[in-house]
Homo-oligomer: A and B are copies of this chain.
Amino acid sequence: MPSPISLSKIEQFNEKEVQIRGWVRRHRSKGKVQFLTIRDGTGELQAILSKATMDEEQFKAASHLTQESSIEVTGRIRADDRAPGGYELDVSHIHILQLAEPFPIQPKEHSVGFLMDHRHLWLRSSRQHAILKIRHEIVKACRDFFDDREFVLVDTPIFTPNACEGTTTLFQTQYFEETAYLAQSGQLYGEAAAAAFGKVYCFGPTFRAEKSKTRRHLMEFWMVEPEVAFAELADVMELAEAFLVMIVQRVLAKRQEELKVLERDVSKLEAITPPFPRVTYREAVARLQKGGSAIQSGDDFGAEDETLLSNEYHKPLIVHRYPAAIKAFYMQSDPQQPDLAMCMDVLAPEGYGEIIGGGQRIHDYQTLLSRLQEHDLSEDAFRWYLDLRRYGSVPHAGFGMGIERAVAWICGLDHVRETIPFPRMLSRLYP
């Protein structure tokens, strides 16, 4: 028996005898001929079973095949221009591993709740394959981007003794005698590591107990966060720009087929070239007000504001220098305008909203100490973080990108729930 091959490598086996192991996507019987669409996770292939050339028992057993039944088939690969992938398989033997019960997910409309309850099976659809393979490509692109630029990977802790941005949205757990909070960001630890390694990134799951039920929120999401010593706001704006361009280029280069399955308008992605437009928060507010928004200077942007702003462009929009009052305690102030924070958000085009947030961190000890006091944060808990300003402090900056939002944007999805294998949402902890 020939050894099993991957359907992704089918073109290497034209006119050869092969074994294929996979699942039945579709089955049609036309009397003396049966047509199977087989998927193996790497691709799909149409297989033809002909009564005339097969064992009668096997041909008969195959006639009962149901969607998602698991099979092993042997046969000959044949190039055929009419076949979807350019090849077909003439089956000589079929072995049925398991005849699947009637599959719950059919090619018809199901409710979102039903699909989410069956997420473990929904993952088998072409659409979910396309999304999760693009997710994989994006994750790999992120890591390659930083690895190629000498950033050191620093896996920051999930269990943390103190909260970075307020405790109301934190998940907590009993950690033996103490309480631990699940990290919302690895940034503070990234800062410590940047003082050791110069350029670092962390990349892991983060947790936010926000009671939001929107198409952009998950309770558990993955974030990649570079942090760079000797860098200022302008440096990380450039870094974020190069980063997004590289990721989109990589997906365009490697995942054309998946983008096609998702019917993604790739011209929208091809437009993602440097430079990205940059506007200050003040300019952005003025534009929004002119466009009819009720936003007041000093307010944070709502989702609608973000959409309104980014709709003016075909590229990601960098908004910088927000009021310090609405931003986190660790942000460096603009020396020219101390009420502004040296920070930025990157808003994805097509209404996908914020996908990157970052900026320059305070590097002066006294300034940071005052800021902790203003924010009623425990000096003792932040002792180690203050230490970074006592021993060779340098200007430094970084950002974080939420992977699920980036995947939603690049794939062109309505909701982040499909961007991660098993999404965790407000009332969704199963499967």
Interface residues of A (CB under 8 A from B): 4, 6, 8, 21-24, 40-42, 68-70, 72, 97-98, 100-101, 103, 118-121, 123-124, 128-129, 132-133, 135-136, 139-140, 143, 147, 150, 152-161, 171-178, 180, 182, 189, 192-199, 204-205, 207, 209, 211, 219-220, 222, 229-230, 363, 383-385, 387-388, 390-395, 420-422, 424, 426-427, 429-431
Known: A384-B120, A392-B100, A394-B97. A158 touches B193 (CB 8 A): no
Closest chain B CB from A218 CB (angstroms):
10
Cβ A24 vs Cβ B196 within 8 A: no
**A219 to B101 alpha-carbon distance, docked (Å):** 41
Q: How far is the CB of A421 from chain B (nearest CB, A)?
A: 5
Copy number in the complex reads: 2
Q: Which chain B residues border A124 with CB–CB below 8 Å? A: 195-196
Would you give the shortest CB distance from A2 to chain B, in whole angstroms?
Answer: 14
Contact B154 A69 (CB under 8 A): no
CB-nearest residue of chain B to A140:
B147
Residues of chain B within 8 A of A192, CB atoms compared: 120-121, 123, 431
Q: Which residue of B lies closest to A219 (CB)?
A: B159
- Partner among B6, B135, B209 whose Cβ is within 8 Å of the Cβ of A150: B6
Residue of B nearest to A159 (CB): B424
- CA gap between A387 and B150 in the complex, in Å: 45
Q: Assess the B422–A157 pair: CB atoms within 8 A.
A: yes
A431 with B6, Cβ < 8 A, contacts A68-B391, A390-B100, A393-B70 known: no
B230 touches A21 (CB 8 A): yes
Report if A421-B155 is in contact (Cβ < 8 Å); known contacts: A42-B198, A98-B394, A391-B68.
yes
- The answer on a CB contact under 8 Å between B420 and A155 is yes
Q: Which of B174, B196, B387, B422 contacts A128 (CB 8 A)?
A: B196
Q: Note all chain B residues with C-beta closer than 8 A to A97.
A: 392-395
> Is B132's CB under 8 angstroms from A154's CB?
yes
**Cβ-closest chain B residue relative to A144:** B140
Q: How near does chain B come to A255, taking the closest CB pair, in angstroms?
A: 12
A422-B189 CB under 8 A given contacts A132-B154, A153-B139, A392-B69: yes
Candidates B120, B220, B427; contact of A387 at CB < 8 Å: B120
Q: Which residues in B have their C-beta under 8 angstroms from that of A153?
A: 135-136, 139-140
Bound Cα distance A204, B119 (Å): 20
CA distance A136 to B196 in the complex (A): 15
Bound-state Cα–Cα, A172 to B179, Å: 11
Q: Are A431 and B384 in contact (CB under 8 A)?
A: yes
> Which residue of B101, B161, B178, B196 is within 8 Å of A391 (Cβ)?
B101
Residue pairs across A and B with Cβ atoms less than 8 A apart, 9 shown, are A41-B194, A41-B196, A100-B391, A132-B154, A136-B153, A139-B153, A155-B420, A158-B205, A384-B430
CB pair A41–B394 under 8 Å, yes or no, is no
A385 to B121, CA, bound (A): 10
Given the interface pairs A150-B42, A429-B175, the reply to whether A230 lies near B4 with Cβ below 8 Å is: yes
CB-CB under 8 A from A193, the residues of chain B are: 123, 421
- Shortest beta-carbon distance from A196 to chain B in Å: 4
Chain B residues lying within 8 Å of A140, measured Cβ to Cβ, are 143, 147, 153
The 5 closest A-B pairs by CB, nearest first: A41-B198, A384-B431, A41-B197, A70-B392, A120-B192
Quote the shortest CB–CB distance from A26 to chain B (angstroms).
13
Residues of B within 8 A of A133 (CB): 152
Q: Which of chain B's residues have a CB closer than 8 A to the CB of A429?
A: 159-161, 175, 178, 180
Beyond A21-B229, A178-B429, A180-B429, 17 additional pairs, beta carbon < 8 A: A4-B230, A6-B150, A23-B392, A41-B199, A42-B197, A42-B198, A70-B392, A97-B394, A97-B395, A98-B363, A98-B393, A121-B387, A133-B152, A157-B422, A157-B424, A159-B219, A384-B431
